[in-house]
Structure 1
Amino acid sequence: MSLNIKMYLSLWSVLCYSLIFAQTPSYHISFPNTKQFHNFISYSKQSYPLVSAHRGGPTKGFPENCTATFTNTIKYIPAIIETDIALSKDSVLVMMHDNTLNRTTTGTGKIGDYTYKELQQLFLKDTEGNVTSFKIETLDQVLQWGKNKVIYTLDIKRGVPMKMIVDAVRKNKAERNTIIITYNANQAEEVSKLAPDLLISVSARGKEDVERMEALGVKAEKMVAFVGTSEPKKETYGYLRSRKIPSILGTMGNIDKSAIAKGDDIYYQLIENGAIVLSSDRPVEAGKQLAKYVLDKKIKSKYIKLSKN
């Protein structure tokens, strides 16, 4: 197949995709300002439970860490989008989970060995290894797309300077829908010093973890607690709620597998037990259970709307 025909088919695929999704209703989460975003995230008895779509919710035809995939996800649920950021050879922040290109693109080798221009010659693969028409995007593109649509949790890959992430959030005015993921107290301290006004996802499985980070200057009101990939003790949820710290439970892995085997109502029960956000590889299935919970508990939010554009 000639290069011209390949380019034509790629452009036609993108056009068809654009026409379809331009007419499809989707759930949008939008905040007028940063304060209202933080108030929404902060725990209360009327906290609105949400699914965090792990790597954006990839599925057949839709690659991970790609705005086309994010668009597909919010057709079904209001979503937090968890997405991964790596660094190209020429220091461009790009969306990629793995250190290498082999699994998710038509390329091979380490992502850090390619310039952004070189990366643009590649195409992304979906969850079944099929080549799509979609390309590797930049963090700037992702942050611009997400305005008034989703909440982001940004997962920064090893070797990517935190300051570059904070600067990108500032440049794109994404403070009102962005949470930065950290994995230990030192990372949380670094982000807190760089951007004391931003929300930070912290690894916190109890009182000691929260107090350790507070001792380093991380404010509790800026924390979103990731409590692990298995349910914590009730006391953990109780303590976090007493501090108004929202909790994210990772269901990707064993809990998602249990839901497949035993029924999706597991997700409903996890919220009932104390989680506020479920980070899942099955965002649509989990989201349906959370929608049922919201209806049963008569929870409402003026920040979440079903939009036609």
Structure 2
Amino acid sequence: MMIRTNWLGIFALILLGCGSSPSDQSEAVNQPDSSITERHHIKVESLNDTRNFYNWTSDRIPLVSAHRGGPYPGFPENAIETFENVLKYTPAIIELDVAMTQDSVLVLMHDDDLDRTTNGTGKVNEVTYDYIQTLFLEDNEGKLTEFKVPTLEEALIWSKGKALLTVDIKRSVPFEKVVEEVRETGSEAHAALISYTFPAAKKLNILAPELMLSVTIRNEGEIRRFEETGIPWDRVIAFTGVAERPKSFNEALHEKGVFTILGTLGNLDRSAVARGDELYVNFVNNGADILATDRPIETAKAIQTLHPENSSKSKYFTHVD
């Protein structure tokens, strides 16, 4: 049964037990826990909902974005089961990667080849989807799981009523194919498309002006260059890179009504492991609204208290038992 609940109630159930040090905490949450049955969802029903959700306000609720879906031991990257595991602990934005097979099927895969993340071999764009279907995913420790490589279609359908997605389109994948899949599945409200350059953002906006875009904007000069594209600010989430930006820069984006995504994946996540997860609190207090992380469960626990008690954004969050 689905019920609406307040944000404090959601986060009170984020983690079941943790140790006294960052390493202890990581060990606790890294273990699959089949006893947890609740899910924490972000529910939008229309593009208007999505634009309102991403419209920055001072009572915004800070969030995590699970990089490559949030892999942990037993849960491989870019797997729907992995997305579900993250939602046991926190509502989240799910970042996923899209590649294309030889026979033009869009699948979730970060690498150009299959060797690291599956028990198969070869390049994704040189094998058929029939071959992909015979494979199983491996987690980041190289352990074989029972999980299959999902298609983009499956992920888009899964996301409805559960999570918002940011879709990283690999270089060999035509933008048109991704847009077509989003539209055919009726997932416009759930999928923001990632672009790393302004020409790419402009092309995506021409192809699908209704969709949200995640666009890399790291400094004042790039704010000006983005404005030259003509893309409306209410279609944009600003990825500010993988280094912390000045608070004044984040505030400049907030004045445009734009959410910021700070990429803590990599060096900043490692710093949090070494120095303590309170570091994530500092990032949010400095103006980061979404933390794109390889440690979504730990990050969510650290920032759980950093939200207004009666946020206007709370209506988009649900708790499912």
Same fold (TM over 0.5): yes
Match of 1:285 in 2: 298
Which of 168, 172, 178 aligns to 2:191? It is 178
- Alpha-carbon deviation of 1:56? 0.5
- Alpha-carbon deviation of 1:102? 0.7
Point out the structure with the larger helix share.
1
Counterparts of 1:56 and 1:266, CA distance in 2: 22
3-state DSSP class of the match of 1:241? helix
Q: Does residue 260 of structure 1 match 2:260? A: no
Q: Indicate conservation of the 8 Å contact 1:294/1:300, yes or no.
A: no
Which of 113, 133, 141 aligns to 2:154? It is 141
Q: Indicate conservation of the 8 Å contact 1:250/1:278, yes or no.
A: yes
- Alpha-carbon deviation of 1:27? 0.3
Q: Indicate conservation of the 8 Å contact 1:206/1:239, yes or no.
A: no
What do the CA deviations read for 1:130-165 (whole angstroms, capped 9, x no partner)?
111111110000101111000100000111011111
What do the CA deviations read for 1:179-210 (whole angstroms, capped 9, x no partner)?
10000001000001001111100010133213
Counterparts of 1:154 and 1:194, CA distance in 2: 15
- Alpha-carbon deviation of 1:68? 0.3
Q: Indicate conservation of the 8 Å contact 2:61/2:308, yes or no.
A: no
- Alpha-carbon deviation of 1:306? 1.1
**Which 4+ residue blocks in structure 1 deviate beyond 2 angstroms?**
20-23, 294-300
Counterparts of 1:23 and 1:235, CA distance in 2: 41
Alignment of 1:179-258 (within 5 A): 179-258=192-271
Counterparts of 1:70 and 1:97, CA distance in 2: 15
Amino acid at match of 2:167: L
Amino acid at match of 1:112: N
Counterparts of 2:34 and 2:142, CA distance in 1: 23
Alignment of 1:99-110 (within 5 A): 99-110=112-123
- Alpha-carbon deviation of 1:37? 1.2
Amino acid at match of 1:191: L
TM-score of the superposed pair, with normalisation by structure 2: 0.87
Match of 2:74 in 1: 61
Match of 2:182 in 1: 169
Counterparts of 2:290 and 2:140, CA distance in 1: 24
Decide which moves more: 151-160 or 210-219. Answer: 210-219
Q: Indicate conservation of the 8 Å contact 1:192/1:217, yes or no.
A: no
Higher RCO structure (Cα 8 Å, ≥6 apart): 2
Alignment of 1:20-31 (within 5 A): 24-31=37-44
What is the alpha-carbon root mean square deviation over aligned residues? 1.7
TM-score of the superposed pair, with normalisation by structure 1: 0.90
Counterparts of 1:165 and 1:299, CA distance in 2: 32
What do the CA deviations read for 1:96-122 (whole angstroms, capped 9, x no partner)?
000011100001121111100011111
Amino acid at match of 2:107: V
Percent identity for Structure 1 against Structure 2: 42
Counterparts of 1:51 and 1:92, CA distance in 2: 29
Q: Which runs of 5+ in 2 are unaligned?
A: 1-32
- Alpha-carbon deviation of 1:214? 2.6
3-state DSSP class of the match of 1:106? coil
Match of 1:273 in 2: 286
What is the number of residues matched between the two proteins?
Answer: 289
Distance change (3 Å), C-alpha of 1:296 and 1:268? farther
Counterparts of 1:34 and 1:250, CA distance in 2: 25
Q: Does residue 91 of structure 1 match 2:99? A: no
Q: Does residue 117 of structure 1 match 2:130? A: yes
